[in-house]
Amino acid sequence: MRLLALGVALSIVALATSWSSARASNLPPPLSRDAMVGFLAQCIETGPDGLPRFGDQARDLCRAHELTATEPMSWRKFDWPGQDDPRSFPIGYLANDAVVLSSGPNPLIAHIADFGDTARQFRRFDAGKGDGGQVVQIIDAAAYGIMTEDGGAGYQWFIGPACRGPAGGLERFKSWLFFAADVPAGAWRQRIAELAMARSAAGCSPGFAKSLTRYRLEPIEVPLFAVRDGKRQPMTVRVSTIVSEHFGRDTIPSADHLERFFFGKGLGMYRWERWEQRGRSLNPEMEQQAAHFARSGRCPALPFSVPPASGWVLTDCRMWTNLVRQDDPWHAADFGWPGQLEGLLP
């Protein structure tokens, strides 16, 4: 799959086991639905010092609140500019806003990909040119990616094995898992999952691939920039983070690639990484891409940004902690994506 117009295939996963172990007496209590939304959607407010604050530092608007698509956005999340590309300063290439589309028992969250360059404009949905994003839904105490659009390929839906059976409703979208309410602190929890992709929400598949997914909760010291009036002020904030890993096969040694995601409380997804395994990667340009990325400086060192084993190479990454003040507040609904999601949205 491709995610957020990065032009690479991402792993698609479907949860294949129950969450009964999360209620064992020796484990911390599972995250509530609202707490899960707090890691998937952003709410960034302005502090008395004029700097952005979110998550555990939030005091006013963002206390126990996430941004909806119709609310004014005073700060946007942009990626770090390439250090070898002066045209990208100060706000990078790609805005990635995380907003709530609908609440209720099964909240829908959009991670909106908005490119800006010579051919595309920020704040405008440039259809067929990479703009789009992904939609995440909470189903039975787990966060699943249910749809993505990028690169002009149109909607791509992620479907689980339940599409074959009599179960209706949202069961079919138990597909690409990010994390579940049973996320542990300080250790990995892993699942073997099954997955497929369809062009329609009503689609199914004759077969499903297996994928290893693991996730954990960690406090991470995150570098970021506050951009106001064209000036960038560096900051470091401790962010409660869910790290999620998706492998291209059901074991690490057999996987050809890995996708790693960082979800921050009050930030939503703030980092994405693509890793390839030498000897198994299907990417003939793996080494060239890794060298080009290393020169770019787009992603600083971060805890858990490490190879899962020897022989793995980081080929691409985006870091959306370049927080840019919007003097003219913007509404994500004005972007006009993702539409009605084949009836999932009113």
CB count within 10 Å of CB 214 equals 18
Average pLDDT of the chain, as a whole number: 90
Does residue 196 carry a pLDDT above 70? yes
DSSP conformational letter for 296: H
Read off the pLDDT of each residue in 230-247 and give the average, rounded to a whole number.
95
| pLDDT tens-digit series, residues 272-297 | 999 999 999 999 999 999 999 999 99
Q: Per the domain annotation, does 159 fall within a domain?
A: no
pLDDT at residue 162, as a whole number: 92
8 Å CB contact between 128 and 100: no
Banded pLDDT at 13 (limits 50, 70, 90): very low
316: domain range? 29-140+213-343
8 Å CB contact between 250 and 192: yes
State both tokens at 194. 């099954």
Measured between its terminal Cα atoms, the distance across the chain in Å is: 27
E strand or H helix at 36: helix 33-40
Does residue 185 carry a pLDDT above 60? yes
| pLDDT tens-digit series, residues 137-160 | 999 999 999 999 976 778 999 999
Read off the pLDDT of each residue in 93-99 and give the average, rounded to a whole number.
96
Rounded distance, CA 115 to CA 155, Å?
Answer: 18
Read off the pLDDT of each residue in 187-205 and give the average, rounded to a whole number.
92
Q: Per the domain annotation, does 53 fall within a domain?
A: yes
Q: HSE on the CB side for 71, CA within 13 Å?
A: 21
pTM: 0.91
E strand or H helix at 111: strand 108-115
The CA-atom distances, in angstroms, between 214 and each of 105, 125, 146, 217, 260 are 25, 33, 18, 11, 10
Percent pLDDT > 70 in the chain is 91
pLDDT at residue 194, as a whole number: 87
Does residue 2 carry a pLDDT above 50? no
pLDDT at residue 18, as a whole number: 40
Does residue 11 carry a pLDDT above 70? no
Q: Per the domain annotation, does 172 fall within a domain?
A: no
Task: Label the pairing between strands 156-159 and 142-149.
Answer: antiparallel
Q: Per the domain annotation, does 302 fall within a domain?
A: yes
Helix (H, G, I), strand (E, B) or coil at 2: coil
Q: Per the domain annotation, does 9 fall within a domain?
A: no
Rounded distance, CA 60 to CA 238, Å?
Answer: 19
Q: Per the domain annotation, does 325 fall within a domain?
A: yes
Q: HSE on the CB side for 237, CA within 13 Å?
A: 26
pLDDT at residue 27, as a whole number: 66
- How many domains does the chain divide into? 1
DSSP conformational letter for 249: S
DSSP E strands, 140-267: 142-149, 156-159, 176-180, 189-198, 209-228, 231-247, 257-264
Q: Per the domain annotation, does 208 fall within a domain?
A: no
| pLDDT tens-digit series, residues 28-74 | 789 999 999 999 999 999 999 999 999 999 987 898 899 999 999 99
pLDDT at residue 167, as a whole number: 63
CA 204 to chain centre: 24
